[in-house]
Amino acid sequence: MKIKFLIFIITISSSLSLVAQERAKDSLDDQVVNVVTPYKPTISDAFKIKDTPKLQDSNLVKKKEVKYNIFSIPVASTFTPAKGKAANVDKAKSVKLYDNYASLGFGTYTTILGEVYLNHELSNTENVGGYFSHHSSQGGIEDLLLDDDFSNTHLNAHYSQKLRDFSWKVNGGFDLMTYNWYGLPQNFFGQTEADDIDPSHTFNSFYLGGKLKFDDAIINDGSVRFRRFGDNQDSGENRFVAKAGFDIPVQDEIIKTEFYIDYIGGSFDENYFSNEAINYGNVTFGLSPSYQLTQDDLTVNLGLRLVYLNDTELSDNKFFIYPNIKASYRLVDEILIAYGGITGQLQQNSYYDFANENPFVSPTLFITPTDQRYNGFLGLKGKLSNNVSYNVKGNYFAEENKALFKANDARGDASENYQYGNSFGVVYDDVTTFSVAGELNIDINRNFTLGIKGEYFNYSMDDESEAWNLPDVTGSIFMDVQISEQWFAGASAVYVGERKDQQDLVAVLTPQNPSSVITLDSYFDANAHVGYKINDQLSVFAKVNNILNQDYQRYLNFPVQGFQALAGATYQFDF
C-alpha cells in the first residue's frame, strides 16, 4: 500500500514539472545578459545571528566539583636579599653660612676701613648681636690750604625675642663723625687766613629704639625711636618717632592703617650773619588708611594721608590732606605691567639728615618741614626674558619749602671757622620737578649680574634762580661676577650731571647783590673690586676707586680724593 502511494506522488510531481516547463517555454524569449563587474562579497554582507541556541537535552552531565589541597613543606633557604640604595645624584657642595664676620682694610690716603658684625642665638627664640664700622682717612688732596681728613664710626647693639603670639626687638647705638670745612675759596682767601682756621667739625649722636610685631591681632606692628644729635659747636637736636600699623575690619573688608607721631626740636647758637640763636621744633600726627582692591590683573590701593602739624616755636597749626593712590595692571602677564599713582606727604627735615647728606653744612641752619603736595608717577615694568627685567618711569613732583644746599657767602669779617665761604647753608623754595627714569637689570645666573640706571630732571623754581646743587642727569652701572669658586669681582660707575651754585664775598651789614651763578662740571666716577676666597672662612680683597683719577668737585670748592686703592681681608666665624 505504501509503495503504491509513493508511485502516485512521483507521477503527479513529474506531470506538474513538465507542464511548468512547457509554460515557461511559451512565455519567455531569449535575452542577452552583460556582466559588468563580478560580484565581490564583503564582511558587511554577512549578518551574524545574535541568538544563543538553547539546548533542551535533559541528559546533560553536571560538572563535578573539584577541591584542591596544598600540603606546605618547609624548605631551608640561605638567600638574603640586599638592602636597596638610593641612586647617587651629582649636586653642588652646600655652602656653609656663618653668623658673624670681621673685615679690615688699608689703603692710600692712609685710609682705614673696618667692619664687625655679630649675631648669636641664645636660644630658639632669643638673639643678640651688634655691628661696628669705621672708615677714616688722613686726607692728602692736592692744592688745599686746610686739612681734609675725615672719620666715620658707627656702633650698634640689638636684642630680639620671638614669643608665641608676637616678637619684639630693642636696639641702641652711637655714631661719631668728624669732617673738615676744607673747601676754602682761594679766589677770596689765601694761606694767611687758612692759618687762623680750625676746620674740624665733629658730629655725635646716640639712639634707642624698639619694634613689636604681632602674629594675629588688630595691631600688626609698632616701633619707637629716640635720637639725640649734636656737634662740637653747641648745636643739639632731639627727635622721637613712634609708629603703629593696624587693620580695621569694615563689612568683611580690611582697611590697613598706619598712625605715627613725629617730634623734633633743636637749636643752634647763632645764624650765619648774626649772633642770634636759632630754635626750631614741631610735632606731627599722621594717619594713613588704605584699601586694596584686586580684580583679575588689576590691583588698586586707595588711600589718603591725614597730617596735623603743630609748630611749637611759632605756635602755628596746620592740617594737610594728601592722596595716596597706587594702581598696577598686568597687560601681558609678567612681560608688561603698567603702574601709576599719585601720593603726597609732609617730609620732616632734620639736622641729622642734612649732615649725613652733606657733612660740610654750617651749624646755622633753619629747619622746617617740606610739604610734598603731590607726586604723580606713571611707568611700565616687566621682563624682556627670564633673565632681563626693565622699569621705565616718569615723575612729577610739586613741593613747597623744598630744602636746597647752597654755598655760604664768604664773610670779610669772619669770626667763625665756617664763615670763610667753606660751608653750606640750606635755602627753601617751592619747586616742581619733572623726571624720567629708566632701569635695566640682567641676572643671567648666580655668577653674573648687571644693572643700569639713568634719570633726567627738569626743575621749575619760584624764588631761587636755580635748583642749587641738584643735578640735571644721573646714571649708574654696576656688575658682579663670580669668576670661579674662589675668585669674585665687581665694578660700578656713577655719572652726575652739571649742578649750579652761587657764592660771593660780603660784609655783615652789606646788602647782598646777586652774584654770578657757578656751574659745577659733571663727573664720572668708576670703581672696581676683586676678591679671592682662601677657604670657607677667610677671603682677601682689593678695591680701587676713582679709577680715572678725576679731581671733580662734589660740592663747590670741595674736590674729592683722586685715585684710591685699598686691600684687606674678611673672616667669617661662629661662636
d(CA 402, CA 298): 34
d(CA 407, CA 429): 16
Q: What number of helices (H) and strands (E) belong to the chain?
A: 3, 28
Of 62-66, 130-134, 204-208, minimum mean pLDDT range:
62-66
332-387 pLDDT tens trace: 988 999 999 999 999 999 999 999 999 999 999 999 999 999 999 999 999 998 89
pLDDT of residue 482 exceeding 50, the answer is yes
* pLDDT score of 21: 46
Phi (first) and psi of residue 315, to 5 degrees:
55, 50
* pLDDT score of 17: 47
d(CA 148, CA 141): 7
122-144 pLDDT tens trace: 999 999 999 999 999 999 999 99
Rg (CA), the chain: 45
Mean pLDDT of 491-520: 83
* pLDDT score of 26: 47
The string of DSSP codes covering 10-64 is: HHHHHHHHHHHHHHHHHH---------S-----GGG------------TTPPPPP
The pLDDT-based confidence of 29 (bands split at 50, 70, 90) is low
d(CA 133, CA 153): 6
Residue from 405, 356, 376, 411 nearest 185 by CA: 411
Of 48-62, 114-128, 157-171, 345-359, minimum mean pLDDT range:
48-62
Phi (first) and psi of residue 19, to 5 degrees:
-65, -40
Q: What is the residue type of 144?
A: L
302-335 burial string, b = 16+ CB within 10 Å, else e? Answer: ebebebebebeeeeeeeebebbbebebebeeeee
pLDDT of residue 329 exceeding 90, the answer is yes
d(CA 375, CA 323): 9
d(CA 557, CA 504): 13
* pLDDT score of 18: 41
* pLDDT score of 2: 47
Quickly count: other Cβ atoms within 10 Å of residue 277's Cβ.
Answer: 11
Quickly count: other Cβ atoms within 10 Å of residue 403's Cβ.
Answer: 22
* pLDDT score of 268: 97
Of 41-50, 61-70, 94-103, minimum mean pLDDT range:
41-50
d(CA 384, CA 78): 66
d(CA 432, CA 333): 35
Residue spans of the domains in the chain: they are 103-155+181-207+232-237+273-279+319-573
* pLDDT score of 82: 64
Mean pLDDT of 151-163: 96
The whole model's pTM is what?
0.82
CA separation, residue 391 to residues 56, 182, 339, 452 (Å):
91, 40, 10, 11
d(CA 10, CA 18): 13
Q: Which residue has the cell 687766613?
A: 193
Q: Which residue has the cell 599719585?
A: 342
Mean pLDDT of 270-279: 91
Phi (first) and psi of residue 50, to 5 degrees:
-90, 70
* pLDDT score of 553: 94
The pLDDT-based confidence of 45 (bands split at 50, 70, 90) is low
pLDDT of residue 15 exceeding 90, the answer is no
pLDDT of residue 91 exceeding 50, the answer is yes
Residue from 414, 418, 293 nearest 355 by CA: 418
Of 68-72, 305-309, 473-477, 493-497, minimum mean pLDDT range:
68-72
Cβ contact 140:148 at 8 Å? yes
Mean pLDDT of 446-457: 94
Average pLDDT, the chain: 87
pLDDT of residue 148 exceeding 90, the answer is yes
Q: Where are the beta strands (DSSP E) in 348-468?
A: 370-383, 388-407, 410-411, 424-445, 448-461
Kind and range of the H or E run holding 354: helix 351-357
Of 17-26, 114-123, 561-570, minimum mean pLDDT range:
17-26
Relative to beta strand 316-332, strand 336-347 is antiparallel
pLDDT of residue 76 exceeding 90, the answer is no
Query: Given its phi and psi angles, is residue 27 left (phi above 0), alpha (psi -120 to 50 degrees) or beta?
Result: alpha
Quickly count: other Cβ atoms within 10 Å of residue 215's Cβ.
Answer: 11
342-356 pLDDT tens trace: 999 999 999 999 999
The grid coordinates of residue 118 equal 655679630
CA separation, residue 97 to residues 94, 104, 127, 388, 575 (Å):
9, 20, 17, 29, 13
Q: What is the residue type of 121?
A: E
The grid coordinates of residue 108 equal 692710600
pLDDT of residue 247 exceeding 50, the answer is yes
pLDDT of residue 16 exceeding 80, the answer is no
Tell me the range of 86-100, 176-190, 500-514 where mean pLDDT is highest. Answer: 176-190
* pLDDT score of 274: 86
The grid coordinates of residue 333 equal 602677564
d(CA 267, CA 295): 52
* pLDDT score of 486: 93
To 5 degrees, how large is the angle CA 223–CA 229–CA 233? 170
* pLDDT score of 568: 97
The pLDDT-based confidence of 39 (bands split at 50, 70, 90) is low
Residue from 570, 569, 561 nearest 108 by CA: 561
